[in-house]
A and B are shown apart, each in its own frame.
Chain A
Amino acid sequence: MTDVTVGSDYRAAAEEAPAQTVRGYWRTVGHRLRYDYVTLFFALVIVLIVLAAICAPLLAPFDPLKTSMAYRLKPIGFRQFALGTDELGRDMLSRLIYGGRMSLLMGLTPVALATIFGGTLGVVAGFLGGSVNMLIMRTVDIFFAFPSVLLAVAISGTMGGGMATGLIALTLVFIPPLCRIAETATTQVRNLDFVEAARASGAPTRSIIIHHILGNVLAPVFIYASSLISVAILLAAGLSFLGLGVEPPTPDWGLMLSTLRQAIYVQPYVCALPGLAIFITSLSFNLVSDGLRQAMDVRI
């Protein structure tokens, strides 16, 4: 009797235990995300914005570059123009859809480039330590002495503006913070016992970095990089707004906001639309990045 009871208890406990404790890291993250409706919703918004930008030729009702003097600055909902027209009579809806291409490109590329360059620099500085670390990190400190807007404006302003210089400027702005995050994470991991053990057992430096260091450094670097996307989109549109980024007549949200600014007394609501697009995109990236950080339980 007693044997049976003990046995069944034991079995029951064994069946229950895995359900509670054995869940891999990524399954835990997925589980948390599945119930985080805010993050899911804004991730969907990002997917829609990206899809709209990619499929712009299919979605846009008009040619975004076709001007028309007869239809200048028409209000929202005017005849076939769902969101009105701009100062040259171009369809706002089509320009907003196409504008997403430039704005996303100008926001995502610098962060991606800076993650590669800054991350590599940070890992090298953290892993090698000593005078190399000193040299890299003190140089990075100097760039921290510039507020990001000022640095971006300084570089692209003196280089004369344009999309390429805007991309270079923004990449340079984001390299220092990513380098610092990667360096901190690497320095922490480098001194842990398992790295010491790997080294003692004769693992070559390359495989220590790839297998032991990167696995622990990538998560904080990527989470931090994702939080920079929203900043990058705001800054890139800001540069275009100042005339330092995308050049007319290419549709870009920042540039559209800048050229329509002259017309706020005529069509105030139409003029506010490109900014609204920037706002929604930047808000979505911010919230998704926050949600990912919480789900992945990364402290930066």
Chain B
Amino acid sequence: MWLYAARRILYAVPIAIGVTVICFCLVFLAPGDPIQMLLPPDASQQDVEYLKKLYGFDQPIPIQYFKWLVRAASGDLGVSLQTNRPVFDEVTRALSNTVIISFGAVMLAFSLAFVLGTIAGYYAGRPIDRIVTGISVVGVSVPNYWLGIVLIIVFAVELGILPATGMGSKGSDDFSLRNWAQFKYAILPIITMSMVPLGIIMRSTRSAVAEVLAYDFVQTLRAKGLRELAVLRHAVSNALPQILAVMGLQFGYLVGGSILIETIFTWPGTGFLLSKAILTRDIPVLQGAILVLALCFVATNLVVDLIQTAVDPRIKRA
């Protein structure tokens, strides 16, 4: 197991390096001179020269990359063209807000999907299974940016019981989920965000439970006279590591792909930051946010894999 863990961690290193290469290259994808992208339009010739030297734009691209990598590793991702604040601070502040709704969404999705998926897996092929499968298809097919608008129409416009957008008067400083006045701002984003993981976790729970129930040991459990609920408990605990892994990966997808939902709810997370950066062509923020999000995704995948190996002794991957 330790051998596997070491190998898995080592395997993540080239991927992380590849991610930095892609993020570095993003600046070259942008139309126009990279220097102009990193400076406000009214920058003086002196500033341009200074930045050219600092970033080494007069040197070969591999050297530019290494210089950029060294700076990025020390937390220097440049300065936002809009706010003049360090990109690293902007991204980390936003990241905590994204994590709040992503975590809430994945928890909501998991608790619903786990119950419904287990029922569907137990009654595989019966009408209840079809209903649950139908719900999961709807979950992955619904455009969540549209669902967000529909929820705003119903709960904010028509009923007027929940706020439509934003994070409350206090903003993101000391946001607490225990404070109802603040928590109610997170409800609609969390529900909207939970749809895709709901569909996916439900589907994998259903197939995992149905698969375990077909094993021989389940037959044995029944033969020795265990009640059905106890049989189901055995089946679920066998399927659980797999389901938890799916849940972990979904959390990673939510944090990285929050842009549409945060744009609709103007939730000040990384997605909203990205969407603002796109509108204002703030390339340093764009690049920094994408880099941080992709690295978070790599780290989440790694942690999920390691936990799964530790929890489930059947996985002998070393």
Contacts and interface: CB of A to CB of B under 8 A. Distances in A.
B159 to A, nearest CB: 12
A278 B18 contact: no
B26 interface: yes
Given A160-B30, A264-B157, A241 B145 contact: yes
B148 to A, nearest CB: 9
Interface string B138-155: 101111011101101100
Interface residues of B, number: 51
Interface string B117-155: 000000000000000000001101111011101101100
A264 B278 CA distance: 24
A276 B153 CA distance: 14
Contact of A282 (B141, B252, B256): B141
A142 B18 contact: yes
B153 A158 contact: no
A235 B157 CA distance: 27
A264 B145 contact: no
B71 to A, nearest CB: 19
Contacts, number: 136
A237 interface: yes
A275 B294 contact: no
B205 interface: no
Nearest to B25: A158
Interface string A278-293: 1100110011001000
A128 interface: no
A139 interface: yes
B26 A279 contact: no
A290 B137 contact: yes
Nearest to A265: B157
Given A264-B149, A268-B158, A283-B137, A150 B256 contact: yes
B165 to A, nearest CB: 11
B149 A286 contact: no
A274 B140 CA distance: 18
A257 B286 contact: no
Interface class of chain A by DSSP: helix
A243 interface: yes
A145 interface: yes
B138 A154 contact: no
A141 interface: yes
A282 B143 contact: yes
A159 interface: yes
A214 interface: no
B244 interface: no
Contacts of B278: 153, 157, 161, 242-244
B293 interface: yes
Interface in B54-70: none
Contacts of A282: 141-143
Contact of A145 (B19, B26, B157): B19
Contacts of B18: 138-139, 141-142, 145
Nearest to B147: A275
Contacts of A161: 278
B245 to A, nearest CB: 15
A299 B26 CA distance: 36
Interface of B: 14-16, 18-19, 21-23, 26-27, 29-31, 137-138, 140-143, 145-147, 149-150, 152-153, 157-158, 252-253, 256-257, 259-260, 263-264, 274-275, 277-279, 281, 283, 286-287, 290, 293-294, 297-298, 301
30 contacts: A139-B18, A142-B19, A146-B290, A146-B297, A149-B259, A149-B260, A150-B293, A154-B23, A154-B286, A154-B290, A155-B26, A155-B29, A158-B283, A159-B29, A160-B30, A160-B281, A237-B143, A241-B260, A264-B152, A271-B149, A272-B153, A274-B146, A276-B146, A278-B146, A279-B146, A282-B141, A282-B142, A282-B143, A283-B142, A290-B137
Shortest beta-carbon contacts, A-B, top 9: A275-B146, A142-B18, A147-B256, A149-B257, A283-B141, A268-B153, A157-B278, A147-B257, A282-B141
